[in-house]
Structure 1
Amino acid sequence: MTDSSRPLRKLGFLTIGLFDPADPAAGHESTLQVIELGERLGFDSAWLRHRHLQFGISSPIAIMAAASQRTSRIELGTAVTPMGWENPLRLAEDLATVDLLSGGRINPGLSVGEPMHYDTVKHELYPDSAELEDFSYARVDRLARLVAGEPVREFSGKQGVVEEFSNRVEPHSSGLSERLWYGAASKKSAIWAGENGFNLLTSSVVFPEEHQEPVFAQIQQSQIRAYRAAAEASAQTRGPARVSQGLVVIPTDSASVKQREKYQRYVDERTPRTKAPQGPKRMLFAPDLIGTSEQIAEQLYAHAGFQEVDEVAFALPFSFDHEDYVQILTDISTKLGPALGWTPSKG
């Protein structure tokens, strides 16, 4: 096996929290059990995708609040929360509250842009301001300022006998602003994240520059390097600039024959979209990595994007069953992680 000169320092996983609309409680409970399992297996972090008007987690903050009371160590994040659906002030309040409940374990991952299928939902989401909403970077920057404790208004102090008002978002959770991440798939967004003090989340999707060859790993590497250069040159850094990679990996070491067949069908169905850029923005998908942990480790060591990072949040396949996630997470923790130089967390 190829040796890595940079051992993997942090290992996490990402889940969509899929559920059956006929029995949504069971799917949410499964997600909480998966997070609990992740802590027992020594994972450093568990991340939740954000899905609106779909059969996946629509309120990851609520799930993180519940998970914070069933775990004690594992960090909890969102990858990512699309800010187009959120009021930054209200979101800042919720994030700070859950961060305090968790003992400072929340890692909000954020993105900007118009909500998906906006024309079909804007009449309910923003009935009076749909055409005026700002979906630019300014929206996430506003959240960052509010989380950091910058004043919201001039008014504060005591009013009447018991009412006391603050001029900043309350509660305030010290340190949360250093754990804000931006989910970037383009060089432009990666540079913006670095210039504005965010950590960087990279995933299995990138948008190439016009001049770039459609080679996923090389494009991701160039984006990470551009981010680091921007972060180093910026005076806005809130803490050490961190980068996390989030590819789909499916180790099969302890999988049954039936599971291996199921996993391979899943990968085969998704592989054609990785062969060429998709759509007008030339979206490029990374191939899913499937095989033994040794085989996946070899592929990762050869991956130009992986070579740039020392922490990952491997994405779990969307449509698998609970027992599949147990097997995959167990293999990642006991076989793939150690093969990448990672040591499980304890306590």
Structure 2
Amino acid sequence: MPLPSEPLRKLGFLTIGLFDADDPRRGHESTLNVIQLGEELGFDSAWVRHRHLQYGISSPVAVLAAASQRTSRIHLGTAVIPLGWENPLRLAEDLATVDVLSGGRLNPGISVGPPIHYDQVKHALYPDTADVEDFSYARVERLLSHIRGEPVTTYSGTEGFEVFSDRVQPHARGLGQRVWYGGGSVRSAKWAGEHGMNFLSSNVVQAEDTLDFAEIQRVQIQTFRAHHPDGDKARVSQGLVVIPTDTATAEQRAKYEEFVLRRTPRTSETHGPRRLLFARDLVGTSDQIAEQLYAHAGFQLVDEVAFALPFTFDHEDYVQILTDIATKLGPALGWRATSDHP
């Protein structure tokens, strides 16, 4: 097995937090328990997806506020919050509050663009401004300026017993350096780099010149760093779906392999007008997965990952997968649990 030039430095995972409509608390508790398990296993970060009008986490900031009180070390991230659904000023207040509660462990991941099925939801979401809302990168710039402590009003001072600030409160020092952009195109990679953000690269990219997923991801990562003030030291996290089977039962292995087989055909062609391309899910022993990752042109450029958990598995499956990632796949990639770090 080839060795990477640098060992994996940070190991994270991503979950969608599915729940049953008739018993939503159970699914949310499962997500919180998975995050707690991640901390116990030494993971550096746990990330949650954002799903509106679906049976997944619709309020990741609220879920991570709860997670911050059940954990003490693991970093907590969103991958990603679609800003088309958000007021940047209000979101900045929520993010800063959770960051303070977590002791500076929040890593907000965001993206831009109109909400999915916007024509069907816009009158409920923006009844008076639907046709003039700006879903461009300017929405990110607004959020960044609010988080980083720039004034949001021309007024500050005291009225009676009330004191007013001209910037978002609480102000979470350091949060502005922990904001990530979830990008899938060369354009978004360039923009995120120019604005000093961190870059989340997932298992979906925009195919612009080739259908080679790894090559597309490599170009995007290089573009991001070429335009970032920190250059090659700029932070990038890769998020492929990996399913190690080292300690899986025969029944689990069969389920995992069937899951991957069912999803593989979508990786052979692009989808939609944006020509979206999906990465192949990786299933097998940790040594087999590590070998595939070492040969992956995108993985070769990163030292941080947030491996995505499959959407539809059972809680017991996630326990097995996370345990194998932390105890077998991570070490195979040169990673050491946080408790072992100097």
TM-score of the aligned structures, taking structure 1 as reference length:
0.96
Q: Give CA-to-partner distance per residue, 1:245-286, whole Å, 9 cap, x none.
A: 000000000000110111111111110000111222211100
Alignment match, 2:49: 49
Distance in 1 separating the partners of 2:294 and 2:103:
34
Alignment match, 1:122: 122
1:226 to 223, 226, 231: 223
Letter in 1 for 2:64: M
1:306 to 299, 302, 308: 299
Distance in 2 separating the partners of 1:114 and 1:7:
38
Instruction: Please identify, of 259-268 and 297-306, the stretch whose mean Cα deviation from structure 2 is larger.
Output: 259-268
Instruction: Write the mapping of 1:165-176 to structure 2, written as runs, cut at 5 A.
Output: 165-176=164-175
Distance in 2 separating the partners of 1:172 and 1:74:
21
CA RMSD in angstroms comes to: 1.2
Instruction: Write the mapping of 1:174-253 to structure 2, written as runs, cut at 5 A.
Output: 174-209=173-208, 212-232=209-229, 241-253=234-246
Cα deviation for residue 233 of structure 1 reads 8.1
Alignment match, 1:103: 103
Alignment match, 2:66: 66
Q: Counterpart of 2:13 in 1: which secondary structure?
A: strand
Unpaired runs of at least 5, structure 2? none
Aligned identity (percent) is: 69
Say if 2:196 and 2:229, in contact at 8 Å, map to a contact too: no
Distance in 2 separating the partners of 1:60 and 1:20:
17
Letter in 2 for 1:228: R
TM-score of the aligned structures, taking structure 2 as reference length:
0.98
Distance in 2 separating the partners of 1:141 and 1:77:
19
Say if 1:36 and 1:70, in contact at 8 Å, map to a contact too: yes
Distance in 2 separating the partners of 1:326 and 1:255:
10
Instruction: Write the mapping of 1:262-301 to structure 2, written as runs, cut at 5 A.
Output: 262-301=255-294
Q: Counterpart of 1:12 in 2: which secondary structure?
A: strand
Unpaired runs of at least 5, structure 1? 235-239
Letter in 2 for 1:225: Q
Alignment match, 1:340: 333
Length, aligned pairs only: 340
Cα deviation for residue 292 of structure 1 reads 0.2
Say if 1:11 and 1:43, in contact at 8 Å, map to a contact too: yes
Q: Counterpart of 1:244 in 2: which secondary structure?
A: strand
Say if 2:238 and 2:307, in contact at 8 Å, map to a contact too: yes
Letter in 1 for 2:226: A
Q: Give CA-to-partner distance per residue, 1:102-134, whole Å, 9 cap, x none.
A: 000000000000000011111110000000100
Distance in 2 separating the partners of 1:252 and 1:337:
14
Structure 1 stretches of at least 4 aligned residues deviating more than 2 Å after TM superposition = none
